[in-house]
Structure 1
Amino acid sequence: MGIPPSLRARVWNCLLSTDSLRESNDFNYQKCLSEVRGPLVDLGVSEYGILSAIATLSDTQNDLDLNHQQPSGCTDSCYSLDDITLFRQIALDLQRSFPTHRSLMGESPEAIEGQAKLFRVLIAYAKYNPQVGYSQGMSYIAAVLLMQLGEEEAFWALAALLDKPKYLAELFDLSLTKVQHQVKVFDQFLKHRKPELSQHMESVGVLSVHFVMPWFLTLFTSLPCWDSVLAVWDLIFLHGIYTHTQTHNVQESRGNAVT
């Protein structure tokens, strides 16, 4: 189902035009990591020790006053309170992103490296596009990209997904306008295709926003079948985010076939 696994990385890069995005952009991923890593090391933080990083960043954050005072001993190159808050939030979310997946769970070398890559990609994107920065849900999207692509490829794929209107542009803005629109679309779709279910949900006070919003903010990574997740991503990369209505049709057809 979907793109053959052996071809998925190549096809995703092609559909997202990651090579052309990288070549047309002045942003240098490796340079960004170098600029970020130095001050973090000065703070005693390493992407290879996420739990200790959380503790250190939390202590540093608590030590700063409301005037964004720098930590003691820091020079002008140290990070602000906003930056430390950003790094801490990303580190916290790494613990919640696919905690049962072998590439991210536990203390194995693979998991430690996987968390480090995810930490770097998310911080780099926040620096690449400070207007968007980082929001919860991005860690799931970046993690799936890292499961299929190399680290820098995953970064540029994330940039393409979050910046292009065809995909997730404006999905993570503070107003959540685009997500709310998708919730309304889903409600109308449900009323049209499954009126009895829609009426029942309404009668018991179940709001679709509680499950539709996580679908979009994590790009359907919460689906129980991993093959289905990848197939949905294949469709989204090909047709854009609005292909979710096709996904609903496919799932409904399968359900009817079973019954």
Structure 2
Amino acid sequence: MAKIEPANGLKSAESRKSLRGTTESLALTDGEGNPFGSDSELNAYTSERQTDKYGFIGGAQQYSEHSAENIPPEVLRQREAKWLDMLNNWDKWMAKRHKKMKLRCQKGIPPSLRGRVWLYLSGGKVKREQHKGKFEELDSQAGDPKWVDVIERDLHRQFPFHEMFVARGGHGQQDLYRVLKAYTLHRPEEGYCQAQAPIAAVLLMHMPAEDAFWGLVQICEKYLPGYYSAGLEAIQLDGEILFALLKRVSPLAHRHLKKHKMDPILYMTEWFMCAFSRTLPWVSVLRVWDMFLCEGVKIIFRVGLVLLKCMLGSQDKLKTCQGQYETMELLKTIDTRYMQEGFLVREILELPVSERDIEKEHLASVRRWKETRGELHCKSLPRMHGAKAIMAAEPPSRQDLRQNPTIIVESPLATKSNGEDKERKKTKEEKNGKKNSSPTPVAAYLEPSEPSPLLKDTALLGSNQSLSSTEHDTYL
């Protein structure tokens, strides 16, 4: 077992190298490890590159036609309509039609609704409604200097080839700082762990800072409890679970890793702690997260098992891995064909690993831990296996699930209707001898379920992000 010092972060040399390796290898760095070197170099670089459909301007995670499945526009519109109906009746779908919802998550959440659906699946929407003003309160506080300093040093390392985070001090890095700092104030006993930054960054690509904060809270407390606590005991336990499940999924890969004394924490730490956000092509990351937030951590285990089986599951592949070093290098450079969206999703869905399997191995791992190392120091909360379990553990009210209008537009239809209402009201008041003392508001608040004309240059309130990043209306 690799030695993990009892501190908040990845302290072993191998683990630290693993967690930092991906973004630093993608970035153009100066002598201090900062991406791009200087602001002038950054501007010169970005001006010559075009962003892809997900906002990447380069790097290994940039969109590739070969790694993605193309969905016809009419199919996408039909899916959007279905998801809008699900969002408007979330409690009924979760209670009575969860299997259908799971199938739709497996097909992929429509990009225009992904941020809103993620917030609902994770329970972040309910948490936000139940703790109104909490994020603003945390955001206004200075934060512990110990964590603030570490967070500031990590900001530029998160997706350095994404347009949101490429600029030093840009709105993406500012929001990332706000979310991570707020979490350290929310959970001071846990503080900050480097692997939380890419999780928060992925959320920020799809939702405003407050929503990303509650999404991060849910992932840390419900989906991956204990992963970011001192000592990293939870991730070590899940490494042992992964290794035990591998014996059933790919005995050949299991024997090879055991023969060379490859402790799971050497190769699975970044995979699990970052939920594969820094490992897979971006289209695959999004599909994995759609399923992960719906079905829970079993999806993360399945991805890890698929990659290990594909890379180490045959004699031909093992011919080039004669030792620990060669095996580690192979797992750091996974063949792209195994990470492509279509192939990976099919393999994930076909792998017979359930929540019961994971819990069974978890109990066995805890028992072995106590026999060899004594009691666990970190008493993390019970793990929730997906959206349905989270909702069942803390049943929300209908008000908590209600979709709030977030876009205010000058609607000609609404203005005309308001004008007619005003005239009728004025006539009625004149008959009653009263004066109309307050003007009728011109702005119309649009509910997501109400189709309305989309006006050009509509401002998004409270967000610096694009329309697709907020809880917004979808115009079919």
- Which secondary structure state, in structure 2, belongs to the residue aligned with residue 190 of structure 1? helix
Partner of residue 228, structure 2: 172
Cα deviation, 1:2-53, whole Å, max 9, x if unaligned, reads: 21211211211111222321222266222322232xxxxxxxxxxxxxxxxx
Partner of 2:129: 23
- Check the 8 A contact 1:98/1:105 in 2, yes or no: yes
Whether the 8 Å contact between 1:236 and 1:242 is mirrored in structure 2 is yes
Identify which range, 21-30 or 130-139, moves more after superposition. 21-30
Query: Distance between the aligned counterparts of 1:174 and 1:94, measured in 2?
Result: 21
Counterpart in the other structure of 2:280: 224
Distance 1:175 1:214 in 2: 15
Q: SS of 1:148's equivalent? A: coil
Alignment partner of 1:148 out of 197, 206, 214:
206
Query: How many pairs align?
Result: 207
Q: Which amino acid aligns with 1:177?
A: E
Q: How much is the aligned-residue C-alpha RMSD, in angstroms?
A: 2.5
| 8 A contact 1:220–1:229 mirrored in 2 | yes
Query: Does the C-alpha gap of structure 1 residues 248 and 219 become closer, same or farther in structure 2, counting only changes over 3 Å?
Result: closer
Q: Identify which of 270, 291, 314 aligns with 1:235.
A: 291
> Which residue of structure 2 lines up, in the alignment, with residue 54 of structure 1?
none
When normalised by structure 1's length, the TM-score is 0.72
| Deviation sequence 1:146-203 (CA, Å, 0-9, x none) | 0011111111111121122xx0222212132221121111112222222222323333
In structure 2, distance between residues paired with 1:189 and 1:21: 34
Provide the secondary structure at the position in 2 that maps to 1:95.
helix
Which of 178, 183, 192 lines up with 1:134 in the alignment? Answer: 192
Which residue of 2 is the match for residue 104 of structure 1? 165
1:211 Cα shift? 1.9
Q: Which runs of 5+ in 1 are unaligned?
A: 37-78
The secondary structure found in structure 2 opposite 1:35 is coil
Match of 2:181 among 123, 137, 154: 123
Query: CA 1:106/1:35 → structure 2, altered by over 3 Å: closer, same or farther?
Result: closer
2:146 to 85, 89, 98: 85
1:103-142 Cα offsets, whole Å, 9 max, x none, are 11245xxx71110110011001111121222111000100
- Written as runs of structure 1 = structure 2, the 5 A alignment for 1:15-94 is 15-25=121-131, 28-36=134-142, 83-94=144-155
Alignment partners' CA distance in 2, 1:195 and 1:99 = 38
Bigger Rg over Cα: 2
Which protein, 1 or 2, shows the higher relative CO under an 8 Å CA cutoff with sep ≥ 6? 2
Asked if the contact 2:200–2:216 (Cα under 8 Å) also holds between the matched residues in 1, the reply is yes
Supply the distance in 2 between the matched residues of 1:95 and 1:248 (Cα, whole angstroms). 27
Distance across 2 between alignment mates of 1:104 and 1:26 = 28
Pair 5,102 (structure 1): closer, same or farther in 2 beyond 3 Å: same
Aligned to 1:160: 218
The one-letter code sitting in structure 1 at the alignment partner of 2:111 is: P
Q: 1:244 aligns with which of 300, 308, 323?
A: 300
**What is the aligned-residue identity percentage?**
32
Deviates more, 1:12-21 or 1:135-144: 12-21
Distance (whole Å) between structure 2 residues aligned to residue 193 and residue 229 of structure 1: 22
Gaps of 5+ in 2: 1-106, 311-342, 348-476
Q: Separation in 2 of the partners of 1:245 and 1:139? A: 21
2:249 to 189, 193, 201: 193
Q: Distance in 1 between matches of 2:305 and 2:226?
A: 25
SS of the residue corresponding to residue 277 of structure 2 reads coil
Superposed displacement of residue 205, structure 1: 4.3
